[in-house]
Structure 1
Amino acid sequence: MKKDILIITSYFPPEIGAASNRIYHLAEGLEKRGFKVQVITPLPNYPTGKIFDAYKGKFKDSTLKDNITIHRLWIFASNSKNKLLRLFAMMSYGFSLFWFFLWNRIPKTVIVQSPPLLVAFISMLFLRSKKRKLILNVSDLWPIAGLELGALKKNYSYKLLEKIERFNYKKANLVLGQSDEILTHITKLFPEKETFLYRNYPNFEAPQLKPIQSSSNKIKLVYAGLLGVAQGIYKLCQELDYSNVEFHIYGSGAEQKQTESFIIDNPNLPIVYHGELSREELHKALLKYDLAIIPLLNRIYGSVPSKIFEYAKLGLPMLYFGGGEGETIINKNRLGWVAEAGNYKELNSVFSKIKKDELNLDLMNRIKSIAVNNFDFDNQLDGLEKKL
């Protein structure tokens, strides 16, 4: 008999990005291992902050896809910079969750995604039971990350968020963390808490690599992902030394319009914005580039960008510009180069030392081999299954 499991998340396909991909692959992997999987998620709205056209006018939508039951609940969708509006958006989804909990049978095993912190809190508060196993999947440390990003200040609200964070850890039977830093933070607060390192390894077939065809002597640099404040792509466009580099950008987000305007205002610079692609289309496009950049405007404790593992499986060399544990993974596995987070002078210095002929098929195949052998999704999920 299949074991029931429920996953509660704020992001899920058709929304794009690392968060939705991570949860989808978790759900898909558990279903293939014989679990009867349900997912609760809001009506799709990320990153635009607007309900997708196919779901407009709906209060709830339940479908079966890939043998996974997906419950999409009402949310007041917003990506406004206004903190009160963002709070209301989270609380609206929290209200929908509470209503769902009242009228539906909840499985004995539940995986709750955090952040958002308040959504996780509502789930942990109303689902706690001696008969139920609550698993908290922590992908970023809030409120610490918010403080480091400048989105939060150490005041009464911050102290309240710290209390909510601790409540979530305390009520969890098992905590999954995507970095060693996350697990270290949690075990300092709750030394006896059971934890499991669950990184955001990709689940796709590694491609057959071919030499990159290029008529230019410049390195074809690519960024793909969220064009948000934390990534700092707009500032990167301003600070890059383009003497050895042409810069290609894929994605969308809060800084998209600024970035597009900068490109229009500086037609002499070799920057190309390609818009947004599906994950499958993006993987094909990335194989055309010499080097990927993974930037963070500031070093964020606990953060390990999932792009590291995704690009590695594609055989794409990386320049990591974010510090912390991500930098350690790049260096330890020899996946590319690193520059100190926020230090654009050092970044350009590193670029100046990279030779285009270094970025060859041998390097790409070596990186892909490291990913296949060390960042295996199925092996990791096998370890998690034993904990469920």
Structure 2
Amino acid sequence: MTDILIITNYFPPETGAASNRIFHLANGLQKHDFKVSVLTPLPNYPTGKIFDAYKGKFKYTSTKNNITIHRLWIYASNSKNKILRLIAMLSYSFSLCWYFIWNKLPKTVIIQSPPLLVAFTSVLFLRSKKRKLILNVSDLWPIAGLELGALKKNFSYKLLEKIESFNYNHSDLILGQSNEIISHVTSLFPKKDTFLYRNFPDFVAPKVSESTLSKGKLKIVYAGLLGMAQGIYKLCQELDYTHVQLHIYGGGAERDKIQALIPNNSELDIVYHGEISRDKLHEALISYDITIIPLLNRIYGSVPSKIFEYARLGLPMIYFGGGEGESIIKDNQLGWVAESGNYSELNNVISKINTSELNLKLKETIKESAIKNFDFSTQLDMLINKI
């Protein structure tokens, strides 16, 4: 049995794509006879507050699915203040350093990036010819920060670029969840060993039946983080509701604004459902006609994991985020595409959707495509051969 350590900023009971991705990876490796341990902060995402069950703890160790989970102290914050966010990252980095000093570590370590500083701390302390470091890159920072408007090209940006290069250079294998990420890494380090590791889901999808097909208005659903990058608040204001009803699940920075918007604008046909567990969410999602996957701005390297999860559910999609995600939707015939940020085109695309096409046959076809092209087990087997 091979020991392997995963260092991540997100892990259940936290919700979201990053948490799910790392949990499925850890669980999959454990099923393949790896002895898996995880280093992660005390749960705090996306609220920026330590979850009640973990308050007052400096470290908490537990076991789930034969995975040992070490939760370390963090100064939790989701503040827009960059100084406070930096302090939060540095606090977790400090906890990691303390852990590295006092504990024996496996020879194989998977490090999640971003956050860049956490990845940098891990790579800096753990790089060794006797240890294999695997960097799992889910988004390209600092490029993504620049495109989101969170960063500017100044001294800090150049410093982050140097940190990014250091992380790539001193990793033995780099996993990228998009072809754009792989291309970026190899443009900097042409000889670097890389592997395309998508965020494929690992769950049994609920059965879709004719009874889940709605009548009347087209029921569109968004489920996920209500953050600045997704732009759901703006989407709520820009949609044409003549023949559309929008349903929203999730939480995040824009939640309060969306909740305030709905009762004061009766012409906006929006239903906010709050946050529910992932299993219950899957059951709820299949009752809608289509789902929408938006990004406020096209982000180089980003491929929303919702594409693969919703395909497994057999849910037709409208993709409104640009980049590599568009090609995945088109190539696998998973739904419709509208130009990122172009709300007129989005409304035009929606208006042309023939509701008679949103039938059981379409949903089953999408599920079959997901099983064939987005199989978690096949991808994991290929990764294990690289480790």
| Smaller-chain TM-score bracket | over 0.9
Looking at structure 2, the residues matched to 363 and 219 of structure 1 have their Cα atoms a distance apart, in angstroms, of 16
Displacement of 1:367: 0.2
Looking at structure 1, the residues matched to 273 and 266 of structure 2 have their Cα atoms a distance apart, in angstroms, of 15
Q: Which residue of 2 aligns with 1:340?
A: 339
Q: Which residue of 2 aligns with 1:370?
A: 369
- Which consecutive aligned stretches of 4+ in structure 1 deviate over 6 angstroms post-superposition? none
Looking at structure 2, the residues matched to 214 and 383 of structure 1 have their Cα atoms a distance apart, in angstroms, of 37
Distance 1:257 1:191, change over 3 A: same
Q: Which residue of 2 aligns with 1:159?
A: 158
Q: Which residue of 2 aligns with 1:229?
A: 228
Aligned residues of 2:206 and 2:282 also touching (Cα < 8 A): no
Aligned residues of 1:219 and 1:246 also touching (Cα < 8 A): yes
Displacement of 1:269: 2.2
Q: Which residue of 2 aligns with 1:310?
A: 309
Q: Deviations over 1:20-44 (max 9, x none)?
A: 0000000000000000000000000
1:70 maps to amino acid: I
Alignment of 1:70-109 (within 5 A): 70-109=69-108
TM-score normalized with structure 2 length:
0.99
Displacement of 1:242: 0.5
Displacement of 1:213: 4.4
Alignment of 1:279-294 (within 5 A): 279-294=278-293
2:22 maps to amino acid: I
1:229 maps to amino acid: M
Q: Which residue of 2 aligns with 1:135?
A: 134
Looking at structure 1, the residues matched to 270 and 262 of structure 2 have their Cα atoms a distance apart, in angstroms, of 7
Aligned residues of 2:168 and 2:185 also touching (Cα < 8 A): yes
Displacement of 1:301: 0.2
Looking at structure 2, the residues matched to 171 and 279 of structure 1 have their Cα atoms a distance apart, in angstroms, of 36
2:150 maps to amino acid: A
Alignment partner of 1:237: what SS? helix
Q: Which residue of 1 aligns with 2:357?
A: 358
Q: Which residue of 1 aligns with 2:2?
A: 3
Q: Deviations over 1:122-180 (max 9, x none)?
A: 00000000000000000000000000000000000000000000000000000000000
Q: Deviations over 1:277-318 (max 9, x none)?
A: 110010000010000000000000000000000000000000
Looking at structure 1, the residues matched to 43 and 185 of structure 2 have their Cα atoms a distance apart, in angstroms, of 31
Looking at structure 2, the residues matched to 330 and 193 of structure 1 have their Cα atoms a distance apart, in angstroms, of 29
Looking at structure 2, the residues matched to 133 and 62 of structure 1 have their Cα atoms a distance apart, in angstroms, of 24
Displacement of 1:75: 0.1
Displacement of 1:65: 1.2
Displacement of 1:207: 2.7
Looking at structure 1, the residues matched to 111 and 39 of structure 2 have their Cα atoms a distance apart, in angstroms, of 10
Aligned residues of 1:244 and 1:351 also touching (Cα < 8 A): no
Displacement of 1:214: 5.8
2:41 maps to 1:42: yes
Looking at structure 2, the residues matched to 309 and 79 of structure 1 have their Cα atoms a distance apart, in angstroms, of 27
Unaligned runs of 5+ in 2: none
TM-score normalized with structure 1 length:
0.99
Of all paired residues, the percent bearing the same amino acid is 72
Looking at structure 2, the residues matched to 296 and 360 of structure 1 have their Cα atoms a distance apart, in angstroms, of 27
